[in-house]
Structure 1
Amino acid sequence: MDDLSRVELLFFIAGYVAIQIAIGLWFARGTKSDTDYYIAGGRLGYFPITLSLFATWFGAETILGSSAAVAEGGLSGARAEPFGYAICLVATALFVAGKIRSHGYVTIADFFRDRFGKHAEFVTAIVLVVISVIWAGAQLLAIAAILETTLGLPGVVTLFAAAGIVVFYSMFAGLIGDVVTDVIQGLFLMGGVIILFLAIIHQFGGFGAMLSVIQSDQLRLIAPGESLFTRADAWAIPVIGSLVTQEIITRFLAAKSTAVARRAAFTAAGLYIGIGMMPVLIGLSGAHLDVAGAVGDNFIPAMALEFLPPVLAIVFVGALFSAILSTVDSNLLAVSSLISINILKKLHARSSEQRQLMIARLGTAFAGVGALAVALSGSNIYELIAMTSVFGQGAIVVATLIGLRTRFGGPAAGLACVYTCVAFNLATLLILPILDAMSGGMAIGPALQAVLAGDVEPIDGYFIYSVVAALAAYVIAGLLENLFLTRASK
């Protein structure tokens, strides 16, 4: 891309972001309480919820991470995106959304408070905050990757600029502004992906020719040398690991009815598969094109710069921004809700409506600072998403599904489930890989750095192990609770 096009792209992005902020702030001008701020008063219809779910879930990892993984390792890199997360979206609508809505909760931690007690509420809120902050950090990394590739700007500069813009926008727009801009971003995103997909088809001389270059070994859903546990994790992480997340629950709570929320989720899942297959096909076929810089997270931006005219390349980069902005502001709002309602609940309870709204906005700013710190840590997008999907999530899913549908297990079961899962996650994702690296001669400092950078693989089946451990802890603690209650009643 020549200097003129880079200048044009810079002005386009600046204008695009400015328009998004203006639209979001306009629709959010009537926000008067933290309930309005977090769930838009629970009055949104089918169309905005559909596009908001799609735009929120269809983030940087879908376009950048999955296409790069597919280009490098074939179809086995596409199990999470788009298949796993689309299944997850449908499963959440079927098994979680209605029950959560029926109790009038604002956060998942609200449910844990009512079902398992205040201690469980606090611990769950902390775990969910960690998850959403890491996820937001991954989106900021994606912004830096795009601007570094398309504009040649230093990644650190773009990280700070992106964090500042998103924090400002999210602080004042709230969920209603987020959803309204999601509608625009969702449409823009679909258009951008379709444009690049058609350009790649044209480059090959037709859709059939594009498919013909894909080799049979690229179509294997099982990676070479992959163990059974690794294969199970590849499906379990997206399907189970993201089944209960604050970002998606918020959209269900913002819908005007459970039926609307479910229909919107089913439609969003369909869009997710349809549009999500395009980056997958680009990855499969584009691996056979010799494009400079088309490696790792820069694979898709490099393809856009190579094969799209400057104007359309600008549109596509704007579409990538749409994907990222719609995801990261949802992450920040999720963190803010958990901090203000569940972690600072005493302050929240005795504050006026206006002060609650102020606390909510400050919580969003805090989340943005945390996401920036994560992005500056140096991990890549794919590794950050993988870590996000597993940390404590096995326990949250187990306790939520059992707690919503049965009365088995009380406070001890909920806490045992969460603590055990987090302990297994820390052991399999951090401690054991560090020890493994040290056994090869590394000092503890370099070993820790290698693990955080994703250079040292966790043990096979790390997520499955955490889910099984969480379930076992819940059942054992629940049985002991019943035993003690039975003895106490005699």
Structure 2
Amino acid sequence: MQSWMKYSSDWKIRCGMCSAPCNSSSVVCLGACEMGLPPNEVTTIVILIVVFFAVRMLIGYLASRKVNNTTDYIVAGRRLPIYLTGASIMATWFAAETLMGASSTAYQYGFQGVVFDPFGAALCLLLSGFFFIRLMRRGRYLTIIDFFERRFGKRMALAGSLIQIITYFGWTAAQIVAGGNIVHALFGWPVAAGMLLVAIIVISYTMMGGMWADTLLDFIQMFLTAGGITLIFVGVLNAVGGWDGLFANGGSLYVSKPFTLMPIAGEGYLGYQGSLGWTYWLGAWMALGLGSIAAQDLMQRSMSARNESTAVHGTYMASILYLVFGVLSPLIGIAMFALNPNIAPENSEFLLVTAATDHLSPVLAGVFIAALCSALMSTSDSSILAGASVFTENILPHFTKGKLTDKLQLRWTRIMVLVIGLMSLAIGLWAETIYKLSVFAWTIILVGMFAPFAFGMYWKKANQWGALAGFAGGWISWMITLPILYPTTLAINAGDAELAIWDATYIGSVPAFLVSVVLVVVVSLATQKVDVPKPLADVDGKPMAFKNRLGILPLRDALRKLRPEEVEQEEKETLKPVLPEESIQPGD
């Protein structure tokens, strides 16, 4: 996700058929001009988008009937089967701007340009499933911050909560901006009106159905986008002469070897050579590969699974699906270079749309493009719910007086879905500076939160002072490296300040991450007596053993029906009220 925040903020609809501005207010004429589509296909897309919007609202209403308490709303009652768990994780990350950005970036830089996503994202899901998901599900946490609070105390939990919420403000704003631009292109409305429409729909069905609504919609969304991208790839592959033609003629604008993920001799990685190029390459893998492990949206879906095996294998399933279908978009970009190597970089953003209209029937192309629009909402609802969950579970209890009943917490979570959705809309409309600052919060999760998370789960001596030192030290050292790297990245990017800042961000994250790791270890060891490490505990504060943490479980446990005693136990835990004193340990 992080690597495409810049792409989302710049996702503007451009004229695809002529250089003259389109003055028509007709939906069909405007869509045909601005997206470069035949009028009959624009009509199909508009109709399908309206249908998709209606279906989302209907499913949100139906899902609301399954919500009886906060656990139902935030983690679907921890009852998701493997197919819903895997599909939901995959569809949440399989965002529209990721698909379109991957084909455009691969057209310019080949596989080097998409190390971040899908390759880094698939790595993230694989590592999460193998090293972290099992204990997170065993702990029955509602948020990832619950883990930080139980393991390190309320100071680290509060710091992590603020970063997570800021991050999701920006990520949600990115989706709303992109959705508003698409509505503008297809319906002829002002972009602001399109953003408002998208925000209203997403907020409405998420408020009603919570995780149940999100999961059911993600499941449908996965089939539409994965099926569509597969059909497009088959059409493009045939056009270039099959696999032999793709490997013989496929290419990219700036990279001589489009199918390599490694730095290239004489070219380096994305224009950076030597140690700087290798550091950038490592940062590209880490940005999502490690940076998104300690993020609420991923963990929230894994914690919604019905048992540990389902959570683990659902994440593995998502990793495989994401890599298989995610790699098709960059392959389409490389193949499109073979078909037309003269597309200017600034005109390559709608490369995937062009491929769809060229190689699919009007109806199928319409379904796929409408599904891309709908995919924006799948990502938006995930980020809104993630931010709202963190606020009501980990921040609100610090300020409420008396007991926060489950009914009241559920009400507050729904209120925060509305608040976060509206604030994200406002950020997208007016607060460009805040929006760009929120982008950097994704990097702070990597440089500040991953090391405490990993050591907290795998090292008994990790304590709160070590976690806070790693969090603050990683962030501060990263901020120091940015101005040091900026002159170099600015020169390599020929004076393009925005690209220079992004390159410095990723390159600087590597040394900052190492600083965070060192500080967690050194400070924890130095403060063992003044800050005795807390045991690894579940959501009720009961210690969990430091064993059986790896994601090595028989698949049959994820596929079989739950035994009656297992269902009864889950229902007891689901219906248990959540009180402030349960989530804040005395003496923290």
The two structures have a TM-score, normalised by structure 1, of 0.87
Q: Distance in 1 between matches of 2:50 and 2:437?
A: 27
Alignment partner of 1:371 is 2:424: yes
Task: State the distance in 2 between where 1:142 and 1:20 align.
Answer: 18
Residue 219 (str. 1) matches residue 259 (str. 2): yes
Contact 1:54 1:186 in 2 (8 A): yes
- Whether the 8 Å contact between 1:145 and 1:298 is mirrored in structure 2 is no
Question: What letter corresponds to residue 89 of structure 2 in structure 1?
Answer: L
Change (3 A) 1:122 1:435: farther
Q: Residues 73 and 211 of structure 2 are in contact (CA less than 8 Å); yes or no, is this contact kept in structure 1? A: yes
Mapping of residues 277-288 of structure 1, within 5 Å: 277-288=327-338
Cα 1:130–1:229 shift into 2, 3 Å? same
1:77-106 Cα distance to aligned partner (Å, 9 max, x none): 121222111111011011111112222211
Does 1:411 pair with 2:464?
yes
Q: Which residue of 1 aligns with 2:95?
A: 59
The aligned residue for residue 476 of structure 1 is: 522
Measured in 2, the distance between the counterparts of 1:385 and 1:229 equals 24
Q: 1:92 aligns with which of 121, 128, 135?
A: 128
| 1:130–1:103 CA distance, 2 compared to 1 (3 A) | same
Offset, 1:126: 0.5
Partner of 1:420: 473
The answer for the alignment partner of 1:334 in structure 2 is 386
Between 197-206 and 460-469, report the one with greater CA deviation.
Answer: 197-206
Distance 1:225 1:419, change over 3 A: closer
Q: 1:302 to 1:370 in 2, by over 3 A?
A: farther
> Any conservation in 1 of the 2:206–2:381 contact (CA below 8 Å)?
yes
Task: Give the equivalent residue in structure 1 for 2:508.
Answer: 462
CA distance in 1, matches of 2:501, 2:44: 41
Q: What aligned pairs does 1:40-189 form with structure 2 within 5 A after superposition?
A: 40-147=76-183, 154-189=190-225
The aligned amino acid for 1:111 is F
Instruction: Report if the CA contact (8 A) 2:198-2:377 is conserved.
Output: no
Deviates more, 1:258-267 or 1:139-148: 139-148
Q: Distance in 2 between matches of 1:203 and 1:385?
A: 42
Partner of 1:245: 295
Partner of 2:553: none
Q: Contact 2:167–2:439 at 8 Å: present in 1 too?
A: no
Q: Against the structure 1 CA distance between its residues 293 and 231, is the aligned structure 2 distance closer, same or farther, given a 3 Å change threshold?
A: closer
Q: Structure 2: give runs of 5+ residues left out of the alignment.
A: 1-36, 264-268, 533-588
Cα pair 1:433 1:457 within 8 Å, conserved: no
CA displacement 1:395-440 (0-9 Å, x = unmatched): 21111111112221322112122122232344445x667899999x
How far off its partner does 1:454 sit?
4.4
1:225 shift after superposition = 2.9
What is the root-mean-square deviation of aligned Cα atoms in Å? Answer: 3.0
CA shift, 1:287, in A, is 2.6
Give per-residue Cα distances to partners, 1:340-394, cap 9 Å, x unaligned: 1111124567233332112101111222233334444569x9x999745412333
Q: Distance in 2 between matches of 1:259 and 1:366?
A: 35
Render the CA deviation track for 1:128-147: whole Å, top value 9, x for unaligned: 11222222233334434544
1:328 and 1:388 map into 2 onto residues whose CA distance is 17
Distance in 1 of aligned mates of 2:459 and 2:45: 54
Whole-angstrom CA distance in 2 between matches of 1:458 and 1:138? 20
Quick one: structure 1 residues 305 and 292, their matched pair in 2 at CA, closer, same or farther if it must change by over 3 Å? farther
* Mapped contact 1:125–1:342 kept (Cα < 8 A): yes
> Which deviates more from structure 2 when the two are superposed, residues 346-355 or residues 62-71?
346-355
Higher helix share: 1
- The percent of aligned pairs where both chains have the same amino acid is 25
Aligned length: 473
Confirm or deny that 1:31 pairs with 2:72.
Answer: no
Q: Does 1:321 align with 2:361?
A: no
Instruction: Measure how far apart 1:148 and its partner are.
Output: 5.1
Letter in 2 for 1:165: I
Contact 1:116 1:410 survives alignment (8 Å):
yes
Moved more, 87-96 or 300-309: 300-309
Asked if structure 2 preserves the Cα contact closer than 8 Å seen for 1:412 and 1:478, the reply is yes
Aligned to 1:299: 351
**Cα contact 1:6–1:151 (8 A) shared by 2:** no
Aligned with residue 398 of structure 1, among 436, 442, 451 = 451
Cα 1:115–1:148 shift into 2, 3 Å: same
- Residue 407 of structure 2 is matched in structure 1 by 354
Offset, 1:329: 0.7
| SS in structure 1 at match of 2:294 | coil
Secondary structure at the residue paired with 1:273? helix
Larger displacement relative to structure 2 (383-392 or 296-305): 383-392
| Contact 1:75-1:219 at 8 Å conserved across structures | yes
Contact between 1:196 and 1:316, CA under 8 Å: does it hold in 2? no
In the alignment, the residues of structure 1 paired with residue 456 and residue 118 of structure 2 have an alpha-carbon distance, to the nearest angstrom, of 29
Q: Does the aligned pair in 2 maintain the 1:420–1:470 contact within 8 Å?
A: yes
